[in-house]
Structure 1
Amino acid sequence: MKLTPLLLLILVGVFNNAPRTQGAKILTTLGFPGRSQYIFVETYLKELAARGHQVTVISPFKEKPVQNIRFITAPKIHEYSDKMLKIYKASGFWARHKAFSWTFSLVSECILSDEGVQKLIHSGETFDLFLAEMVQTESLFGLAQHFNATLMGFSSYGNDYVIDELMGNISPLSYNPHITSPRSNIMTFYERLLNRWEIWTEKIVYYIVHTPVMEEQYAKYFPNAKKTLSEVMDSFELILLGQHFTLSYARPYLPNMIEVGGIHISHKPIPIPEDIKQFIETSREGVIYFSLGSNVKSKDLPEETRNTLLKVFGGLKQRVLWKFENDQLPNKPSNVLISKWFPQPNILAHPNVKLFISHGGLLSTIESVYFGKPILGLPVFYDQFMNVKRATEMGFCLGLDLQNLQQSELEQSIHTLLTTPSYAKAAALISERYKDQPEAALDRAIWWTEYVIRHKGTPHMRATSRDLSFVQLHGLDTLAVLLGVPLVTILLLVKLAYWLLCITFGSKHKRFDKQKRN
């Protein structure tokens, strides 16, 4: 089509009126030592850098140089990786959440005490925006006030009651399960009771065990802080949530809570290495992809569990890609290909891959759904149990207990998922719904980030609920008046009636006695 001068003039006018954001200085930290947390924001941060923003990333991992991105590596947390994975297996809700608190406190300490981070803190630099990962590393959020930066959050695991309370979002616990529970939004009475009990228990751990440690760290590393830690926690302007309602369930959100589930999925896939590509494409019966993510290592599985997997995989008609962290896997069947790394999204995108055996991490679940693949979930910790439960109820997943994996159950589950069309159809349907969006998740995340930068915060999006006490927020004071006044009035009327009756019948009784004596 030939562009006329008038049309060119209109187009120039449109582009000139489009919001433009000057290059900003952005600082971000990862609050969890897992590689998947960086994968969630990697594409997003690179896109911000490509748009001219100067991005500084504090991470436990050493990264390749990227234009406009400065990496500060704080690797000390890796020294505790094995210990952290062990304590996650602690029995009992209270013990597990004390373990979570210890982990997040340790992460914060390792980052804030790092030599490179300390150098940055004392550099005199300022930043326009601080991006904080929404896990319980609250002392890290103090970097926002230290660098005089607007505070914005991102959550790779989606949303939970902690973020709701932080942003003032009203979202009932009656259908919002605790993020570490094996429950979905549809709960029985007992599950709702258990859900509330676990959240109350976690809050007790948070206030008694976790908060004092965070406040101590905050005072230690920010002795001249302009704000208290509670004031910092109240200063979040906007949060990016790594979920989407088509992948979970419908629930309320405030306008400064933005769903960006799938932000990490690149629309420019990298080529699959030739040996892996040949392995996939020459398999007549299709391929199964098996990965336990970046935090759980297949090499560390109990020998009994590993042998069960080997027996089942060896008896399949399909070939298996197994993300395995050692160079050798004893007794590996010929139909199994191991590697320390696979380009997971590109593997799942291949039409000859029929099933994903996964730990049930949210990022992996989203990738599987995006490419329309059913899942066999083997959850290990944190949100994975809930993700597998939700996916099972949505019809594209089956779940098993990795700690007590039985050969017959594993064989049956794989057979069911491969031969029952409803699982693949459910995955394809949800994939279609997810992709039907007005813009890509990455574009949405970038737009809202630059919106925060352009307006130097979003006070106009702040919910009044954040400024109300618990009693005011839930209307307990007004409810007391509305219920109390009528109740007091009724009691007074009853008392008055009783008093009148006493006077009336008392007078008659006195007259009767007087007449009787006469």
Structure 2
Amino acid sequence: MLLSSTISAVILLAAAADSARILGVFPVPSISHQYVFRTLTLELAKRGHELVVITPDPAFLKTKPPYNITEIDVSSSYNIVKQFQSDMTNYKRGVVVDVKTMLSFDTYRKMLQVYVEQLNHPAVEKIIQDKNQQFDLIILEGFLNYHLILTEIFKAPAILISSFHGFAESYEIVGAVARHPIFYPGIMRKNYENLTLIEKIYEAKMEYDYMRVFQQVDDYENQLLKTKFGPKSPTVSELKNNIDFLLINSNQIFCNNRPVPPNVAFVGPLHLQPLKELPQDLKSYMDNSDTGVIYVSLGTNVRPSNMDEELLNAFLGAFEALPYDILWKFDGDNLTKIPKNVKIQKWFPQRDLLAHPNVKLFVMQGGLQSTDEAIDAGVPLVTIPMLGDQYFNAHKHEQLGIGVKLDALTLDAKALLEGIRHVLNNKSYRENIRKLKEIMDDQLQTPMERAVWWTEYVIRHKGARHLRSLAANISWAEYLMADVLFTLAAIAFSTLLAIALVIKFMLSTLFRISVTKNKIKQS
């Protein structure tokens, strides 16, 4: 008994010695983002680390959290997002957001209100003002940069984490190959393959516009930081130098196999949890479907109830013409004349549902988490992108042969019906997605093991500056050696100018000599 107690005490002491105090800062009010971060923070807590998590979606809102997790609830951020979403007047067909709108400075400026409000939250301010607060690591969501000031306040190593492929700006911070309009396009881009010369010029301009907007955002964040933390506050560019590591919740395949330095780890799909039994009523529905089931969900950020009448009728018309049972995740109560083969609910256990062998197809919006779940279940896709990175993902679905993409702006019942039938009648889509799962699963570590290992690596070594690329967080002028190129161009121009002047002088001299000789002959 004494020996057992001694062993237990030694184990506890060892765990305590290895445990760290971690601050998690995940500002974006989107449950699909938060599920990813929550999965990692809960796993770190299980391993004995103490976590303070700032989140708009607390995991323990209705239950008591574990002793080593403190959550700061900033769910009021959803009110800001709902407000500026309602202010947007350029939704097309009720639900489609144009890429240019998503990439506008005004959109990001409004989104920054979320970050500002969260750092003004009394519980967050209390931590900031408490000089006794110390953290061994800070994990921050990679998107906007206002919250990077926390790395300066607490002087702790920092990891950026993205809930999807990662923004080009996050890659730039750590020195990865961040931008190329064709090979490594930004995740908000629609087209990047098999382009004509005119299309390539247009996409290059889009990439440039994207860079310019984010520079405007950085400048605006600098103003906000000085307003909140004083005129001596570090600039965003200076704060970016505090980042030690980048975690990307995606597989390299979905990031075009982007070259990255060793302080970047692809840890997707991080959010996949062990499968659970379906609720009995849903299980019976799935088991008893004679023809099979098509599952339809447009994700958490698109509300089907906002579709205009024409688009809504396109969905209903296509579904009614199919011999399959349809499960449609629909958020509203305004749907009338529902076809007999369509069952509607406001929520489905999507991951567990997709794993049922009777699911024939997934009609979706192109979200990365939904894509990961479909790949894991081996279910082919019909993708109708409507905002954000969904266009990029939809293009990738076609590129990998795991689905087809349809244009929501021109979609009608006929086009949707043809897309569904095409995928269902072509076995290659199911074969391709199953093969893709095999490839993505063939790794030494699970995504969670890799994410935890690198997180604890940064803790153990009190940072990861030794893995940092020399190209980290430098300007494009520096990266492209603009000073060298300018100097060489100046030398080349000067040389050519000198040669031209010499030739001009020689020709002028020869001309004068010739004129002189002619005058002598004439005289």
Normalising TM by the smaller chain, what interval?
A: 0.7 to 0.9
- Quote the Cα distance in structure 1 between the aligned partners of 2:44 and 2:311: 43
- Give the deviation of 1:347 after TM superposition: 1.4
Aligned partner of 2:197 in structure 1 is 189
Aligned partner of 1:41 in structure 2 is 37
Aligned partner of 1:218 in structure 2 is 225
- Quote the Cα distance in structure 1 between the aligned partners of 2:227 and 2:372: 39
Cα distance, 1:467–1:342 mapped onto 2, change above 3 Å? closer
Cα distance, 1:317–1:230 mapped onto 2, change above 3 Å? same
Aligned partner of 1:6 in structure 2 is none
Q: Specify the code of the residue in structure 2 equivalent to 1:412.
A: E
Secondary structure at the aligned position of 2:18 is classed as coil
Contact 1:183 1:390 in 2 (8 A): no
Aligned partner of 1:373 in structure 2 is 379
Q: 1:174 aligns with which of 182, 185, 189?
A: 182
Cα distance, 1:489–1:299 mapped onto 2, change above 3 Å? closer
Q: Specify the code of the residue in structure 1 equivalent to 2:253.
A: T
Aligned partner of 1:74 in structure 2 is 74
Cα distance, 1:185–1:213 mapped onto 2, change above 3 Å? same
TM-score by length of 2: 0.86
Q: Bigger CA drift: 62-71 or 80-89?
A: 80-89
- Give the deviation of 1:489 after TM superposition: 3.8
Q: Bigger CA drift: 376-385 or 114-123?
A: 114-123
Whether 1:51 and 2:62 are equivalent positions in the alignment is no
Q: 2:314 aligns with which of 303, 308, 320?
A: 308
Secondary structure at the aligned position of 1:464 is classed as coil
Length, aligned pairs only: 497
- Give the deviation of 1:321 after TM superposition: 2.0
- Quote the Cα distance in structure 2 between the aligned partners of 1:497 and 1:184: 48
Q: 2:437 aligns with which of 431, 434, 452?
A: 431
- Give the deviation of 1:207 after TM superposition: 3.4
- Quote the Cα distance in structure 2 between the aligned partners of 1:347 and 1:413: 22
Q: Bigger CA drift: 501-510 or 66-75?
A: 501-510
- Give the deviation of 1:109 after TM superposition: 2.4
- Quote the Cα distance in structure 2 between the aligned partners of 1:130 and 1:306: 44
Matched ranges for 1:20-169 at <5 A:
22-64=18-60, 65-67=64-66, 68-86=68-86, 87=88, 89=91, 93=100, 97-124=104-131, 125-136=133-144, 138-169=145-176
Cα distance, 1:190–1:260 mapped onto 2, change above 3 Å? farther
What is the CA deviation profile of residues 437-456 of structure 1, one whole-angstrom value per residue up to 9, with x for unaligned ones? 12111111111111111111
- Quote the Cα distance in structure 2 between the aligned partners of 1:326 and 1:92: 26
- Give the deviation of 1:512 after TM superposition: 5.9
- Quote the Cα distance in structure 2 between the aligned partners of 1:92 and 1:284: 41
Q: Bigger CA drift: 165-174 or 49-58?
A: 165-174
Contact 1:31 1:135 in 2 (8 A): no
- Give the deviation of 1:506 after TM superposition: 4.1
TM-score by length of 1: 0.87
- Quote the Cα distance in structure 1 between the aligned partners of 2:332 and 2:214: 38
- Quote the Cα distance in structure 2 between the aligned partners of 1:131 and 1:144: 10
Secondary structure at the aligned position of 1:449 is classed as helix
Aligned partner of 1:200 in structure 2 is 208
Aligned partner of 1:15 in structure 2 is none
Q: 2:278 aligns with which of 264, 272, 275?
A: 272
What is the CA deviation profile of residues 450-473 of structure 1, one whole-angstrom value per residue up to 9, with x for unaligned ones? 111111111112221236554342
Contact 1:112 1:221 in 2 (8 A): no
Contact 1:247 1:430 in 2 (8 A): no
Q: Please, what is the CA RMSD of the aligned residues? A: 2.8
Q: Bigger CA drift: 402-411 or 487-496?
A: 487-496
Q: Specify the code of the residue in structure 2 equivalent to 1:43.
A: T
- Give the deviation of 1:505 after TM superposition: 6.1
- Give the deviation of 1:158 after TM superposition: 0.7
Cα distance, 1:309–1:54 mapped onto 2, change above 3 Å? same
Q: Bigger CA drift: 360-369 or 398-407?
A: 398-407
Cα distance, 1:489–1:407 mapped onto 2, change above 3 Å? closer
Q: 2:417 aligns with which of 393, 411, 419?
A: 411
What is the CA deviation profile of residues 31-50 of structure 1, one whole-angstrom value per residue up to 9, with x for unaligned ones? 32111001122221111111
- Quote the Cα distance in structure 2 between the aligned partners of 1:363 and 1:36: 7
Secondary structure at the aligned position of 2:195 is classed as coil
Cα distance, 1:116–1:299 mapped onto 2, change above 3 Å? farther
Contact 2:165 2:254 in 1 (8 A): no
- Give the deviation of 1:474 after TM superposition: 0.9
Q: Specify the code of the residue in structure 1 equivalent to 2:227.
A: K
Cα distance, 1:468–1:412 mapped onto 2, change above 3 Å? closer
Contact 1:248 1:390 in 2 (8 A): no
Cα distance, 1:488–1:337 mapped onto 2, change above 3 Å? same
- Quote the Cα distance in structure 1 between the aligned partners of 2:40 and 2:122: 27
Aligned partner of 1:294 in structure 2 is 300
Secondary structure at the aligned position of 1:331 is classed as coil
What is the CA deviation profile of residues 361-418 of structure 1, one whole-angstrom value per residue up to 9, with x for unaligned ones? 1111122122211111121111111111121222111222334431111222112221
- Quote the Cα distance in structure 2 between the aligned partners of 1:504 and 1:304: 81
Cα distance, 1:515–1:258 mapped onto 2, change above 3 Å? same
Q: 2:262 aligns with which of 245, 251, 255?
A: 255
Q: 2:428 aligns with which of 418, 422, 428?
A: 422
- Give the deviation of 1:336 after TM superposition: 2.9
Cα distance, 1:35–1:466 mapped onto 2, change above 3 Å? same
Q: Bigger CA drift: 403-412 or 223-232?
A: 223-232
Structure 1 ranges of 4+ moved more than 6 A: none
Matched ranges for 1:233-248 at <5 A:
233-248=240-255
Contact 1:28 1:131 in 2 (8 A): yes
Cα distance, 1:194–1:514 mapped onto 2, change above 3 Å? closer
Contact 2:50 2:69 in 1 (8 A): yes
